[in-house]
Structure 1
């Protein structure tokens, strides 16, 4: 008898009903949304094909880019789409992770970057359909509505801005329209509810896995080790490879400054950071050791790389952030730093201090990324477009 292939493992939650996936991959093993370590555990059991659609976050550790890269480098095939899967596929595609669908392409092109874009509230015992609407579904549905002439671009932007200000557990079409001060007609609600990009991307990704299964593993990169990663000696402790070849010395100071200004550094670095004449003065070796011990260094490196590429792209395109872009950036930074408002954040950091000045620069850069995302989701007919963007045309 020939060697039997283990069935593909699909991490699925509110993005699509299990029946959609099983109609394409009837032998698939359906697992709940992926948590930290789930991919490792399945790989140790010698599964070779993985489809990540949904992932847990918040009160549990989410699946990390390092885990995904380790499994791919061990010789497995990983496809990501729809929700957390799209985010991790965009993070890790240079390592050989496959992505599928509109949401993956938008993350990969850096038009969107926040996990909040795909976050929803759902029941664990009955995950589909979700109890709230993912922000990215709302963006795409409203853009399609503008193309159909059902509403204007300015109205769509108002509704998206209102939805973005809501916590994801409260984000529904009625609540977004109410927050924006707009009337939601029944016909429009039916139209918007009929567009479920996360679900259609999940189906597309399942089809991609089926094709990869049919092709076999001959065209894929072999494992770095004859053993499973869980038994090998060089698995999870490799250095980060998130910055396209840049070494640590090249990006160290800028990366730590971004961590501080974005609020991702939290209180654990407060005693290590000094600002002199607007410049960051920090014993980088000790800070790097602290970050390396956090378990999230590689994910932060990837977020930093995406951020600075988006800023560079916005500047290349000659974009200027609007008032609402700046306000959104201020709200995001205030929340990240654990204060109630932008003014309160400046007061906490000393409004005339070097740190506060750098925060102001970071606010403008963050607003640029929001301007880039807004521009290329809602403005038609632009001759300038971000590099590497894969054009998508919802029908």
Structure 2
């Protein structure tokens, strides 16, 4: 069994190791982190802290995906408590007082667990006080007879009015109006004698329960609500972007693999065409009559030939094609292309997704990343959609026009035939590979293996790769 703990300012990493010695301790969780995990039934993912502003927060479907796969997911204290309060009906387990406050609707704002903290190198040192800690401390002060309910409510409202970055017990004292001064002084004097950090306490409780094998931390079962409509294009896109495998010191995502195979394998256009047509005709990829079946399916739907003005999916040079080939190309391009953000490995034709080809593509992607880091001048800042990290647009286009053996004005059609919806999608996928292509030249990726597939290689596909 593997325990993965996402934690930051709520508890020092050293205390996590002491309470749950064999746990894999990771920084606060962010969008995509759960999709990178190699976990399955029997494993546990314990979420304490998570990013709110510095990085996109963990999405609900990422957690539901783990639950659906039989992974135990539990949360406490901070982001973990917040997500558990939202997803406990579906099998995410929540622990502690902060979770209960959110689950019962006493607390509704995610700002109550938000804090400002230092970098990982400083142990995510807390620089502000979460309002939920103040709330719990005020409730304890009422129980101890230090404050009455009205005073506690007043002090909580004073804390709520402070921006979360400025919240602290000192700020509470500094901003209290004259009528609340006595209550603030009584509360702070008591709190200094009996301090209580609700988030840290809840984090310790979660880790202690995990170490003890508490039955409350169980995977989802029949008593939980079913998880419906989990697999959407959003989850598929996130998985393609974040899931992957390390290679050569670099993380290679499934999307990186798809881009390498679609852009660099010389058989990619032929197998992409065959795969799209087989899907439209609802026949097996190896069916020798797949193109005839696709044309028949198109005719049944009224697509028999180009309209008088032609099709946007055909270039000017292709307008003279016979009706059959024109229909086939339009089918492949209209139904088989995707923007870069939706690119996923499953979209690559199955014969190009063999373990040998995936391993080879992974090495290409890792080598390309290394070349980009060490040899190529780079821009600063984050890469924006449509932007370039290293090479100008005309350099990307010229590089791949030479590689594919097409003219510059035929590049978009060549990109369509490899599955990219437009030149922008192609360029975004291709730019990270330009340095590799320039350095290596006509690389060799393993040919599609198997006699059965080889017998049915589409016309025009090379019999030899390289």
TM-score, normalised on structure 2? 0.44
Q: Secondary structure at the match of 1:79?
A: strand
Give yes or no for contact 2:5–2:45 (8 Å, CA) kept in 1: yes
Partners of 2:30 and 2:196 in 1: CA distance: 28
Alignment of 1:299-378 (within 5 A): none
- 1:205 CA drift (Å): 0.7
Match of residue 59 from structure 1: 54
- 1:216 CA drift (Å): 10
Q: Secondary structure at the match of 1:23?
A: helix
TM-score, normalised on structure 1? 0.51
Instruction: Choose the corresponding residue for 1:136, options 119, 132, 137.
Output: 132
- 1:34 CA drift (Å): 0.2
- 1:19 CA drift (Å): 2.7
1:95 aligns to 2:96 (yes or no):
no
- 1:128 CA drift (Å): 5.3
1:70 aligns to 2:70 (yes or no):
no
1:207 aligns to 2:202 (yes or no):
no
Q: Please give the per-residue CA displacement for 1:57-77, whole angstroms capped at 9, x wherever unaligned.
A: 113210011111111111111
Q: Secondary structure at the match of 1:94?
A: helix
The structure with the larger Rg is 2
After superposition, the Cα gap between the structure-2 partners of 1:92 and 1:43, relative to the gap in structure 1 and judged at 3 Å, is farther
Match of residue 393 from structure 2: none
1:188 aligns to 2:167 (yes or no):
no
Partners of 2:138 and 2:89 in 1: CA distance: 31
Alignment of 1:99-114 (within 5 A): 99-114=94-109
1:170 aligns to 2:166 (yes or no):
yes
Give yes or no for contact 2:7–2:49 (8 Å, CA) kept in 1: yes
After superposition, the Cα gap between the structure-2 partners of 1:29 and 1:214, relative to the gap in structure 1 and judged at 3 Å, is farther
Partners of 1:234 and 1:118 in 2: CA distance: 28
Stretches of structure 1 lacking an aligned partner (at least 5 in a row): 223-232, 240-395
- 1:235 CA drift (Å): 3.5
Match of residue 16 from structure 2: 21
Give yes or no for contact 2:74–2:217 (8 Å, CA) kept in 1: no
1:36 aligns to 2:20 (yes or no):
no
1:81 aligns to 2:76 (yes or no):
yes
After superposition, the Cα gap between the structure-2 partners of 1:128 and 1:196, relative to the gap in structure 1 and judged at 3 Å, is farther
Runs of 4+ in 1 over 3 A off after TM superposition: 43-47, 183-186, 211-217, 219-222, 233-239
Answer 1 or 2: higher relative contact order, Cα 8 Å, separation at least 6: 1
Alignment of 1:293-304 (within 5 A): none
After superposition, the Cα gap between the structure-2 partners of 1:127 and 1:118, relative to the gap in structure 1 and judged at 3 Å, is farther
Partners of 2:148 and 2:216 in 1: CA distance: 45
- 1:234 CA drift (Å): 6.9
Partners of 2:141 and 2:216 in 1: CA distance: 38
- 1:154 CA drift (Å): 2.2
Stretches of structure 2 lacking an aligned partner (at least 5 in a row): 223-228, 236-466
Give yes or no for contact 1:50–1:79 (8 Å, CA) kept in 2: yes
Instruction: Choose the corresponding residue for 1:126, options 114, 122, 126.
Output: 122
After superposition, the Cα gap between the structure-2 partners of 1:97 and 1:45, relative to the gap in structure 1 and judged at 3 Å, is closer
- 1:99 CA drift (Å): 0.8
Match of residue 146 from structure 1: 142
Q: Secondary structure at the match of 1:149?
A: coil
How many pairs were matched up? 224
